[in-house]
Amino acid sequence: MNGIGTAPSPEELRDGLRSDTLLGVRNLKMHFPIKAGVLQRVVGHVKAVDDVSFDVKKGETIGIVGESGCGKSTMGRSIIRLYEPTAGEIFYNGTDIAKLPERELRPLIRRKIQMVFQDPNASLNPRKSLGSALSEPLRSHGLYGNKQERQGHIEELLDLVGLHPSVINNYPHEFSGGQRQRIGIARALVLDPELVIADEAVSALDVSVQAQIINLLEDLQEKLGLTYIFISHDLSVVRHIADRVGVMYLGNLVELSDKESLYEEPLHPYTQALLSAIPVIKKDGAQQRERIVLKGDLPSPSSPPQGCVFHTRCPYKMPMCETVVPEFREAAPGRQVACHLYGEPPF
Ligand code: SF4
């Protein structure tokens, strides 16, 4: 994001958050050093996430889409502090958690924000029964004091995610892919979180199982009042579950909009190209948008283009796009876009 004038202080940013904002991300950067030579000198940086700002309201689902390598997963992991952000603020319920030390982070965030990963096996120990794996975080956070209480909570949770409580003593290899993802969701919910970041949570599943898991996530949201950040490369899946959708390109958020407007009338040329690849059903029958094939390769995040990061592939490029970074600004009520085609707000 490219502001004009003095950058606001973290306090001003926090004060500017709306009362219904659960998560406020401001100018988040996650740059990974590139080291080379015997001395492992830093010779550059991979700018995986570069100056991203957005808000997530309590109870909503925000979808984050973009091609593989655009930085969406890194952004999710930075929010939950699996990576230490290079710069920026992450306000959770008004507290900036971006730089909090682990001992303060743990009671505040490690319980309240959880992740569901693409591969549930990665977070399941094959030698541990389901009950043992799910009670571990409860014990380490000192929740549900005794064994009986923990077992009761876990059985309730298994029922909630569509598994029979009797499977509590089973081992990971005894479950199908869809069941394992239900376990992954149960694991994310075991500490009673408020915000769940689902990172490609249904991408490895068959289409019919994908639909079941999406329905499950929607049911759980309603029952438990959860807020979701749903990260996916699949625009059709995001369309089902999200209330608002953010589009990432080369570490930048280039468009953020309510779902209906974004899928009906995408503003950013990159969003237009992404959506042109999926079929559109209109009232008068099936129709396909005109396919926009982007020229050139995705630039490297270690040397992103100057000016607008999309200018090397944009069909509407203007001379200023090569040098001036477009501000991520409101182009219509509730719609933000980073593109020089959209000047001052038309309202
Ligand atoms: Fe294309 Fe320029 Fe808009 Fe970037 S700022 S998307 S290059 S028109």
pLDDT tens-place string over residues 131-157: 999 999 999 888 888 899 999 999 999
Q: How far apart are CA 279 and CA 14, in angstroms?
A: 41
**pLDDT of residue 319 exceeding 60:** yes
Q: Residue with structure tokens 């290079």?
A: 86
Give residue 27 CA to ligand 1 midpoint distance, Å. 20
Pocket test for ligand 1, best of 324, 340, 342 (most atoms within 8 A of CB): 340
Q: What is the pTM of this model?
A: 0.92
Give residue 263 CA to ligand 1 midpoint distance, Å. 19
Q: How far apart are CA 85 and CA 74, in angstroms?
A: 10
Give residue 320 CA to ligand 1 midpoint distance, Å. 9
**pLDDT of residue 222 exceeding 70:** yes
Give residue 21 CA to ligand 1 midpoint distance, Å. 30
Percent of the chain exceeding pLDDT 90 equals 74
Pocket test for ligand 1, best of 1, 248, 339 (most atoms within 8 A of CB): 339
Q: Report residue 306 as tokens.
A: 């100057």
Question: How far are the Cα atoms of 64, 101, 128, 169, 225 from residue 75, in angstroms, in the given order?
Answer: 10, 19, 30, 35, 23
Q: Which atom of ligand 1 is nearest to the CA of 309?
A: 4
Give residue 270 CA to ligand 1 midpoint distance, Å. 9
Mean pLDDT of 329-343: 94
- Model confidence at 295, pLDDT cuts 50, 70, 90, reads confident
Give residue 266 CA to ligand 1 midpoint distance, Å. 14
Strands of the 87-92 sheet, one edge to the other: 41-57, 21-36, 87-92, 95-96
**pLDDT of residue 27 exceeding 70:** yes
**pLDDT of residue 3 exceeding 60:** no
**What does the mean pLDDT of the chain come to?**
90
Q: Which atom of ligand 1 is nearest to the CA of 317?
A: 7
First to last CA, the chain: 21
Pocket residues for ligand 1 (CB within 6 Å)? 268-269, 308, 310-311, 314, 316-318, 321, 326, 339-341
Closest C-alpha among 117, 120, 100 to residue 109: 100
Give residue 311 CA to ligand 1 midpoint distance, Å. 6
pLDDT of residue 1: 44
The phi-psi region of residue 307 (left if phi > 0; otherwise alpha if psi is between -120 and 50; otherwise beta) is left
Q: How far apart are CA 50 and CA 75, in angstroms?
A: 9
Q: Which atom of ligand 1 is nearest to the CA of 270?
A: 6
- Model confidence at 277, pLDDT cuts 50, 70, 90, reads confident
pLDDT digits (tens, 9 = 90+) for 195-211: 999 999 998 889 889 99
Q: Which atom of ligand 1 is nearest to the CA of 316?
A: 8
Q: Which atom of ligand 1 is nearest to the CA of 269?
A: 6
